[in-house]
Amino acid sequence: MFTGIIQDLGIVTVLTQNSDTMRLAVQSPKLMKDSVRGESIAVNGTCLTVNDIMGDTFVADVMAETIRTTSLAKLKINDKVNLERALTPSSFMGGHFVQGHVDATGVVETIENHGQYWILKVRAEKIFYFLVTKGSIAINGISLTLLEVANNSFSVSIIPTTFIDTNIQYLKIGDEVNLEVDMMAKYVYHYLRVLKEEKVPITEEFLRNHGF
pLDDT at 2: 95
pLDDT of 61 above 70? yes
CB 162 within 8 A of CB 207: no
> Which domains does the chain carry?
8-85 (2.40.30.20), 104-183 (2.40.30.20), 184-212 (no CATH)
Q: How far apart are CA 153 and CA 198, in angstroms?
A: 31
CA neighbor of 181 nearest in space, from 125, 103, 83, 119: 103
Over residues 128-183, the pLDDT tens digits come to 989 999 999 999 999 999 999 999 999 999 999 999 999 999 999 999 999 999 98
Note if the pTM is more than 0.85. Answer: yes
Q: What is the average pLDDT across 80-99?
A: 87
pLDDT of 19 above 70? yes
